[in-house]
Amino acid sequence: MADTNGTNGAHGRPDIERKPETSEPLQRSAFRALIQDFSPIWFTWCMNAGIIAILMHQLPYQFHKLPVLSTIAFIIDFVLFIIFSVVMLLRFPMFRGQAYNEICENVPDLGLLACWPIAWLTVTAFVSLTVSEAQWGSHAFTIVAYVMWWFGAAWVLSTAVFVVVVIIRRHSIKDRELPPMVFIPTVGVSTLATVGGLLSSFSSESSARTAVPVIIFSFWAVGVGTLLGLFIYAMIVHQLFAKGWPAPKQSAGMFLLVGPMGQSAAALQLLGSAAHQYGRFGGYNKGTFLTETSSAPLEVACILLAFLLSGMATIWSIVAFICMIDRALNKELSWTPAWNSAIFPVGTLITSLSQFSIEMDSPFFRVMTAIGLVWLVILFFVNLGFTAWKILQGELLIVKENPRAKQELEQQKEQ
């Protein structure tokens, strides 16, 4: 006679085995999968298109179609930024606390959060370099670019502070591996200064009255980005010496170590040039510092400091290449979305080399700038090919199988 409790005799086994239940469905719609799993790493596509566009615009070797290619790259940056921002903004109201906690509990994603305001700053550079110089653009869009820059300043600095505070409050790094993504907020602060230099130098009809506050605040931002980066360098270098290369899937993240030094070098050069070559300090002419007399030695000092910083950035780029080659020789190298992190940091160093080619009228730096730009464009399309393939295979961006539900099922099986 069957047990009235629905169990089978002494063994206590259910007559009907129940399926494991999860708090979320295992299969999702494509739209829900896109929104729920969207990561800030996708804003690296905006950053990469933006840095390539800036380098094309400033390349010492100009030819007839290069400005058109630069504009196309800027438009790609702008369109992707709008799409990704809409998706990112939808994630928080749709998934609320889950979206916030998943970013805060994941240190790489926490660092990557700074990619969003950096992408905004590349769009600001687009408005400054291209739109304000167009026949239909003019001075009105220079004002737009300045407003966008100050908004970006508040955004990137608050993001950097938020990332630091959350890591302090929620994460105890100690002997755990510190991901290279924690460099990105420092790169964001230095990017603010670089775009400030571009804005103050090349925007249509930019005046000293509007440019000088941006230059001064940008110098302050260089200090924050460089010094905060140095503190993190100490931890990363100790980690490399103690544990060796990062995990194979994070090997491309080594290029992030180029960013703080390369971007700060480029920022100093552009700011020194804005103050002296473009006469912003002379046009302002107040006090003892904001004068034409002080701007000349200031530019020289900026170039000297840029040499120091770009030298270290070059060494880090070489170390990152060696890491990738080492992984390839050991057959441990495979493509991951982290490869996108190789373009923007190296692009900051190439921006600095481009400025050196102007400051010293150097054929060597002109050639190195051109070679570096070609390499970045090739890597951009390599990443594009792998990304498109992974999306078509259902392994990236839109993954209908919910990893949270899958993990929950695995935990239930272990119990």
| pLDDT of res. 204 | 84
Torsion of CA 388, 394, 398, 399, to 10 degrees: -150
| pLDDT of res. 5 | 44
In a domain, 405, yes or no: no
| pLDDT of res. 89 | 95
DSSP code string of 285-332: -BTTTBSHHHHHHHHHHHHHHHHHHHHHHHHHHHHHHHHHHHHHHTT-
Residues 6+ apart with CB under 8 A from 59: 66, 354, 369, 370, 373
The whole-angstrom separation of Cα 54 and Cα 174 is 39
Q: Are residues 189 and 157 in contact, defined by beta-carbon separation less than 8 angstroms?
A: yes
In a domain, 6, yes or no: no
Rg (CA), the chain: 25
| pLDDT of res. 404 | 81
* Cross-strand pairs, 14: 7
The number of distinct structural domains making up the chain is: 1
- Token couple for 133: 């110089």
In a domain, 322, yes or no: yes
Residues 340, 342, 348, 350, CA torsion sign: negative
The whole-angstrom separation of Cα 108 and Cα 175 is 16
| pLDDT of res. 178 | 82
In a domain, 374, yes or no: yes
| pLDDT of res. 303 | 96
In a domain, 407, yes or no: no
Q: Counting Cβ atoms within 10 Å, is residue 241 exposed (0-12), middle (13-18) or buried (19+)?
A: exposed
**Residue 35, domain CATH:** 1.50.10.150
| pLDDT of res. 4 | 44
The kind and range of the H/E element at 13 are strand 13-14
Q: Angle formed by the axes of helices 343-359 and 292-329, to 10°?
A: 140
The whole-angstrom separation of Cα 196 and Cα 186 is 16
The label of the residue with tokens 């990332």 reads 163
Q: ∠ CA(197), CA(198), CA(202), 5° rounding? A: 125
SS3 of 7, please? strand
| pLDDT of res. 172 | 65
Residues 6+ apart with CB under 8 A from 338: 41, 249, 250, 251, 252, 253
In a domain, 260, yes or no: yes
| pLDDT of res. 10 | 42
Residues 6+ apart with CB under 8 A from 260: 183, 186, 187, 190, 225, 226, 228, 229, 230, 232, 233
pLDDT lower than 50: segments of the chain: 1-17, 175
| pLDDT of res. 21 | 63
In a domain, 42, yes or no: yes
| pLDDT of res. 20 | 57
User: What letter represents residue 259's amino acid?
Assistant: G
The whole-angstrom separation of Cα 275 and Cα 256 is 29
Residue 393 belongs to what domain range? 27-398
Predicted confidence (pLDDT) per residue in 171-199, tens digit: 766 546 788 899 999 999 999 999 999 99
* Entry pTM: 0.91
Q: Are residues 372 and 346 in contact, defined by beta-carbon separation less than 8 angstroms?
A: yes
| pLDDT of res. 174 | 57
